[in-house]
Amino acid sequence: MIRQFGITEFWFIVAAVQWTLALSAVAFAGGAVGGMAIALARVSEIKPLRYSALAIIRFFQGTPLLMQLFLAFFGLRILGVEINPWIAAAIALTAHASAFLGEIWRGCIEAVPKGQSEASWALGIGYYDRMVSVVLPQAARIAVAPTVGFLVQLIKGTSLASIIGFVELTRAGQIINNATFSPFTVFGIVAALYFILCWPLSLLATRMERRFAVATRR
């Protein structure tokens, strides 16, 4: 039986924003840890580390996020591992974020002038201290804008978790639409909520990018 779209249905959709934000936060936090490991492996002098990190990046950049979600959810179940949609989505998005942030941060590390590392080496500063005290602080400044930009993409990417049954913003909209058959109203609200979440971050990324560009011209 089709029911009318009302305030209860509206708040059900709005409440699902918390799960979109929670999934985004978990994936971004886990991706930051994994991404830093991948970035450091990519610039390492140890070839097996570089090639392993490159293989991870190529896999996750060369396959759709939807396929990665399927592998995390259905693949583990085929192997006999019972997993709920929340955990599967978190694993897939964390791995996805690790690969992309790793490549973004690798580029930022390599953007630091090599003279900085060479001067540190000439002063007898070891690899760990050189990275922590000289290279990474400068790379972090460069990385702010593209990192925030990727976070916007990650928030929107959580919508694909609806395909494995995780009830985030998009899935909540699908549930309400199936009950009310009001697609324009329902998905208009869903789109507006994504816009509210992502637009401020997009502005922040643009502002940080301009600020860095001005700073580098001085």
Q: What's residue 136's pLDDT?
A: 83
Q: What is the pLDDT of residues 155-164, one digit of tens each?
A: 999 999 999 9
Q: What's residue 206's pLDDT?
A: 80
Handedness of CA 138, 144, 147, 149 (dihedral sign): negative
Q: What's residue 118's pLDDT?
A: 66
Q: What's residue 205's pLDDT?
A: 79
pTM of this structure: 0.88
Each domain of the chain, given as residue ranges in start order, spans 7-217
Q: What's residue 65's pLDDT?
A: 95
Low-confidence ranges of the chain (pLDDT < 70): 116-118, 120-124, 126-127, 212-218
CATH superfamily for 7-217 is MetI-like (1.10.3720.10)
Distance CA 69, CA 89 (A): 6
| CA-closest candidate to residue 18, choices 199, 207, 167, 132 | 167
Backbone angles phi and psi of 199, in degrees to 5:
-60, -45
- For the chain, how big is the Rg over CA atoms in Å? 21
DSSP assignment of the chain:
------HHHHHHHHHTHHHHHHHHHHHHHHHHHHHHHHHHHHT-S-HHHHHHHHHHHHHHHHS-HHHHHHIIIIIHHHTT----HHHHHHHHHHHHHHHHHHHHHHHHHHHS-HHHHHHHHHTT--HHHHIIIIIHHHHHHHHHHHHHHHHHHHHHHGGGGGGGT--SHHHHHHHHHHHH--HHHHHHHHHHHHHHHHHHHHHHHHHHHHHHHHHHH-
Distance CA 150, CA 201 (A): 10
Q: Which amino acid is at 49?
A: L
Q: What's residue 161's pLDDT?
A: 95
Distance CA 96, CA 94 (A): 5
Q: What's residue 50's pLDDT?
A: 93
